A and B are shown apart, each in its own frame.
Chain A
């Protein structure tokens, strides 16, 4: 045990004794994450205000007075530059106008049938022709898309209401029922909908990334440099050497994951403050509230995941000839882990059978999702821990055996 603690201290000193390594492992990711989310927020805010402030060019063809009144009533003419055209003028310039929309110089063309009024007034029953309004816009241009939205939901609604009123007299006769939404949901589940979707995935990939950053070098790197063999020459039991390295890596990757999670908790409100809006995403962890037991359950699952990831990475890395080979071996596992984390994003509300909680990584991600929703039951929690820890222990035994295997350690 003493040998193990000496090795743990040495491995931790290797990181914490190197200011550059501490900066790149713990401080830089936090700065990058906060800066990245801040920039994202700033860019989203800037984009939104640009769209709102932009004066869009709109052509309205064959407009009648009712349409002009609807445009004025909706305020659409205040933020948009509107050109009214008759049929002849429009036909003469049609291709040029379409090119303007295509190139982003104009945002919307509203084309009303030339005999719109006649069709409207001569309407008697469902066999009568219905006048048409055609909206031409460019979905690849944000300004155009936004102008279309404003016109369709603002101007056209006022226009439609006016025409209906003219046709039927009072709009009240069209109201056949009132609709009332009665939402029945758990408050905590509703508040944490976004975070329960994202957090399992984020925790899983961040823990794996943290373990990978330290695990490859601690095993394959040391083996490649010949420094691992110097430890194997000491009288310390080789299982203790393997155990010491694994525990040290668990501490480092766990700390790295905590840095990532805390950074994200800070970064999301920063994104909101920088103009990213009040969306669920920008609200970040605000909707998540955990009880003490749930907090401890989350910590236990994260610890089990760290153990598993460190064990998997070490198991592969120790068998690799060098760090390059180790990274190649581990990359496919990273993808599997990402997919397992991602699967929880697309889960329906259907109850997950307990057997699935035993599946390492996936079971843990589901359990984390349940914690966010306040739905994790003890049996599922224990199943998710058991599946992960058992695999991690088996891998650790494999690593200890590898330390004693001359074929693995010395390519003999």
Chain B
């Protein structure tokens, strides 16, 4: 279970960043008063354009960033006060966080298993299961740097799940993957949901969000502008599909169009 209450994240900008962003403001509101809930046994899809605040929100959940205002709890643990317990309860995957390219998938899996306090037997059993599911055994001893994008992503997913976490947070997990690999990833996310895990997936691929998500939240310009099941969102926005609904929301809330 993930509970986000009134999450606000404001970045302070130095002169260089202000120049880059062409702004006179010395701060940027990345996430503005967002509240949402992801429950066990469901996949929560987080939608939004680039720079909307999806990754910042997920990083706050993963304890990598501290909220400026509001609170986030994971499995009942406060992210600011009980960071270590939160990190032990989650799998977090994002394109910017990578496995060390100098090691093999096999070593990385065991390394993170040990960091999570697992015994060697537990690690081996878990490795057999996950490497089997993602077909990693054939290249498990190759260095990460020698693997293709798809192989790297599979290895990263397997490593992130080593400790069998209750909560899975994947930021654009199928980005850059071929259709076959992307399918195996989404299938496994459904499997995790069926096992009662709480899954949050951020994406900007509408078709993927439609097929995968039990409930969907839409973030635009740092604000949550919609939350509900696909049917609820389509009804409220008088849309024929999620893409249609998204563009209606985007034209309504995009600050550049206001």
Contacts and interface: CB of A to CB of B under 8 A. Distances in A.
Interface string B88-125: 10101000111111110001000110111100000000
A227 B100 contact: yes
Contact of A10 (B64, B97, B101, B111): B111
B39 interface: no
Interface residues of A, number: 26
A2 B62 CA distance: 22
B88 A229 contact: no
A233 B84 contact: no
Contacts of A3: 115
Given A13-B107, A234-B116, A237-B84, A406 B64 contact: yes
A407 B64 CA distance: 10
Given A225-B101, A226-B96, A227-B99, A6 B115 contact: yes
B231 interface: no
Given A6-B114, A406-B65, A412-B65, A234 B87 contact: yes
Nearest to A226: B98
Interface string B23-52: 000000000000000000000000000000
- Interface-centre pick from A13, A222, A229 (highest chain B CB count, 10 A): A229
A233 B103 contact: no
A18 interface: yes
B144 to A, nearest CB: 9
Interface string A1-19: 0110011001001100110
Interface string B59-102: 10011111000000000000000001101101010001111111
A229 B96 contact: yes
A410 interface: yes
Nearest to B56: A412
Contacts of A237: 84
Contacts of A354: none
B64 A230 contact: no
Contacts of A13: 103, 107
A410 B59 contact: yes
B11 interface: yes
B117 A235 contact: yes
Contact of A235 (B98, B99, B100, B115): B115
Contacts of A230: 97-100, 112
A233 B64 contact: yes
A133 interface: no
B97 A406 contact: no
Interface in A210-238: 222, 225-227, 229-237
A6 B66 CA distance: 27
A412 B103 contact: no
B182 to A, nearest CB: 21
B176 to A, nearest CB: 15
A229 B115 CA distance: 14
Contact of A225 (B65, B66, B98): B98
A246 to B, nearest CB: 17
Interface string A184-201: 000000000000000000
Given A10-B111, A412-B11, A233 B92 contact: yes
A398 to B, nearest CB: 19
A226 B99 CA distance: 8
Contacts of B90: 233
Interface of B: 11, 59, 62-66, 84-85, 87-88, 90, 92, 96-103, 107, 111-112, 114-117
Given A226-B98, A227-B98, A412-B65, 8 more contacts: A13-B103, A17-B103, A229-B64, A229-B96, A233-B92, A233-B97, A235-B116, A410-B64
Query: Nearest 7 pairs between A and B by C-beta?
Result: A235-B88, A234-B115, A226-B98, A229-B97, A227-B100, A235-B87, A235-B84
Interface of A: 2-3, 6-7, 10, 13-14, 17-18, 222, 225-227, 229-237, 406, 409-410, 412
26 contacts: A2-B117, A3-B115, A6-B114, A7-B115, A10-B103, A14-B103, A18-B102, A222-B100, A225-B101, A227-B100, A229-B96, A230-B97, A231-B115, A233-B63, A233-B92, A234-B87, A234-B115, A235-B85, A235-B115, A235-B117, A236-B84, A236-B115, A237-B84, A406-B64, A410-B65, A412-B65
